[in-house]
Amino acid sequence: MFKRIAVHIEKDSACPARTAVAAELAARFNAQLIGLYVSPALPRYPFDEAMLPAALYHEVRKQQTDDRKRCEQEFQQRAQAADVASQWRAPEGNAERVLALHARLADLLVLSQAGESADESSVDAAVMGTIVLSVGRPVLAVPRAARSSSAGKRILVCWDHGREAARALADAAPLLAQAEEIHALTLDPDGSAMRSRATVPGDLRAWFGAHGYVEPHIAERDTAGIRVGNAILNAASDYSCDLIVMGLYGHSRAREWILGGASREILKNMTVPVLFSH
């Protein structure tokens, strides 16, 4: 059950949409809503070697304070309108590390799809990927152009018999329990990689049934001539789904998280909210 939902708060244009989604979920699950605002750390004049001129330092600090206060006020107004308990946090540091750190004691972290402008938000596509792969909690990514604050009535689950997909199923349990319709999508079911992973036929339906979820519609599609990410998005559109549940794939190289191709495609082109798990 989602009892603590954290949402990234910033002055970027996508913040109202993701905050609305987070507040709606908090109200639905009677959860606490935690606003996470990350201020970039500045050199501590005059002790750092790379010091800023005093006037510039204080001007930047004032702007940060004004931005933080405005964001906090808007967050509290949305939480109050949704009638949910809220908590405000404004730590300093690197967004990639700070968001993951604070979200580890929440049940869900809500972020926005990275914007096309690199300077609009501190969470770009690379930062989001790193957070999902390191946070240890599911992350709900909300499209920049999201028009609805509700998600989870009609869910598309991406299922390939792998560890990440199984983790995603478990992490999405609160949403699956309330879903009206579920579609379980398997891509390239006749491929050698899929055959080596396949379990007992019918086990997926049995798993949903054992948990009391609605019986899933099993969908199988080939990706010949189409990218995996696009195949997933097409399926979500065809079934009128308002949420995608999937594992995020990646590996660590030289202390950096590298995402798989399908994960990058979804992060770039998502049209509905996506619950990522790793």
> Could you tell me the two tokens for 65?
């304070």
> Hunting for tokens 């009638």 — which residue is that?
83
Rg of the chain over all Cα atoms, to the nearest angstrom: 20
Beginning with the edge strand found earlier in the chain, give each strand of the sheet holding 181-187 in spatial order. 86-89, 32-37, 4-9, 108-112, 139-142, 274-277, 243-247, 154-158, 181-187, 217-221
d(CA 135, CA 98) in angstroms, rounded, equals 10
Q: β-strands 32-37, 86-89: how paired?
A: parallel
d(CA 78, CA 136) in angstroms, rounded, equals 27
- What is the per-residue pLDDT for 129? 82
255 — pLDDT class (breaks 50, 70, 90): very low
d(CA 34, CA 7) in angstroms, rounded, equals 6
Least confident of 98-107, 141-150, 155-164: 141-150
Report, as an integer, the average pLDDT of 22-43: 91
> Hunting for tokens 């390191």 — which residue is that?
134
> Cis omega before residue 46 (within 30°)?
yes
Tell me: the pLDDT tens digits for 44-80? 545 454 555 666 667 767 777 888 999 999 999 999 9
> Cα dist. 197→200, 224, 250 in Å?
10, 20, 19
pLDDT above 90 (res 251):
no
256 — pLDDT class (breaks 50, 70, 90): very low
Torsions phi, psi of 256, nearest 5? -120, 140
Top pLDDT among 30 and 197 is at 30
> Could you tell me the two tokens for 215?
């019986």
C-alpha count within 13 angstroms, C-beta hemisphere, residue 267: 26
140 — pLDDT class (breaks 50, 70, 90): very high
Least confident of 26-30, 38-42, 48-52, 138-142: 48-52
> Cα dist. 5→20, 189, 242 in Å?
12, 35, 19
Least confident of 56-60, 129-133, 134-138, 191-195: 191-195
Q: Could you tell me if 60 and 52 are in contact, meaning their C-beta atoms sit under 8 angstroms apart?
A: yes
pLDDT above 50 (res 271):
yes
The pTM for the full model equals: 0.88
pLDDT above 90 (res 258):
no
Report, as an integer, the average pLDDT of 102-110: 97
Distant-in-sequence, close-in-space partners of 42: CB < 8 Å, separation ≥ 6: 52, 57, 60, 61, 64
In the three-class reduction of DSSP (H, G, I as helix; E, B as strand; rest coil), residue 115 is classed as coil
